[in-house]
Amino acid sequence: MDFTEKILTACRNQKSLVCVGLDTELSKIPEFFKKSDDPIFEFNKAIIDATTPFVAAYKPNLAFYEALGTKGLIALEKTVHYIPEGIIKIADAKRGDIGNTSRLYAKAFFEYFKFDAITISPYLGADSIAPFIEDESKGVFILCLTSNPGSKDFQYFSNGEQTLYKEVAQKINTWNVKKNCGLVIGATHPGELKELREMVPDLPVLIPGIGAQGGDLELSVTYGTDKNGELALFNSSRGIIYKSIGEDFAQAAAKEAEILQSAINHIRKIRY
């Protein structure tokens, strides 16, 4: 099964296009977890248990784990192994280096940590991406047009004929020989999302920015999904995992994930 098929299967089985970002920060989790030997994993475990019925993917951001050193990486490993089979596991690592280094990054995330996919930067070109797409069952989400304000600094650069973000999309589309390439496109750019989806109708798209960053959900679903209302994952991190910091944190996260799942599916139903 190639990575595109894996995404379609997960989303159909779960009846969801929701991706939960596990951006777990020690200072933000409920106080009672801090007595645990592994508070990050215990918090993640509770979030996963509560939200799994409503999601198709989880996306730990590596920064939140690397910042804690060895303990953080142990918590990351345990978290990834705890995510149920059939749910997509995405390493939000934003790697991308010369070929030999990328080969070792791919080995670390795909073979050791057992992620299904990773986010990477395209800045170093084809040889930096190649090691990540050797295995058709493992996927990459390549940064194309990100949701942060600074995306305008470089990604909108134009040579007079085409912007850089469109050049990225076009090249990745041609490199998608094994059906395991996707793009990261922020929900904060709905017009550009529409243009890009038309350019790459068959690529999976990871869409951040619908939660705390204020992206428009209806436009993102309308423009970001493919002709069948599929092939997109909508990520929410803080808006779900920190919905409550009280004893009801897990129930609050589950409710928020369910609300997002229902909202996305409602838009899809109207459109398709």
* Known catalytic membership, residue 269: no
Q: How far apart are CA 212 and CA 112, in angstroms?
A: 32
Q: Tokens 């750019």 sit at which residue? A: 189
Contact (Cβ atoms closer than 8 angstroms) between residue 86 and residue 64: no
Contact (Cβ atoms closer than 8 angstroms) between residue 117 and residue 140: yes
Residue 250: Cβ within 10 Å count = 20
Question: Interhelix angle for 249-271 vs 217-224, to 10°?
Answer: 50
3 state DSSP class of 224 = helix
Cβ pair 228, 269 in contact under 8 A: no
Which are the contacts of 64, defined by CB distance < 8 A and separation ≥ 6?
A: 22, 23, 24, 25, 40, 72
In the three-class reduction of DSSP (H, G, I as helix; E, B as strand; rest coil), residue 171 is classed as helix
CA distances from 188 to 20, 26, 91, 207 (A): 18, 28, 22, 9
Length of the chain: 272
In sequence order, the 6+-apart residues with CB closer than 8 A to the CB of 25 are 64
Catalytic residue among 94, 178, 194, 255: 94
Which letter, b or e, does each residue of 115-129 get, where b requires 16 or more Cβ atoms within 10 Å of its Cβ? Answer: bbbbbbbbeeeeebb
Which residues participate in catalysis according to the annotation? 94
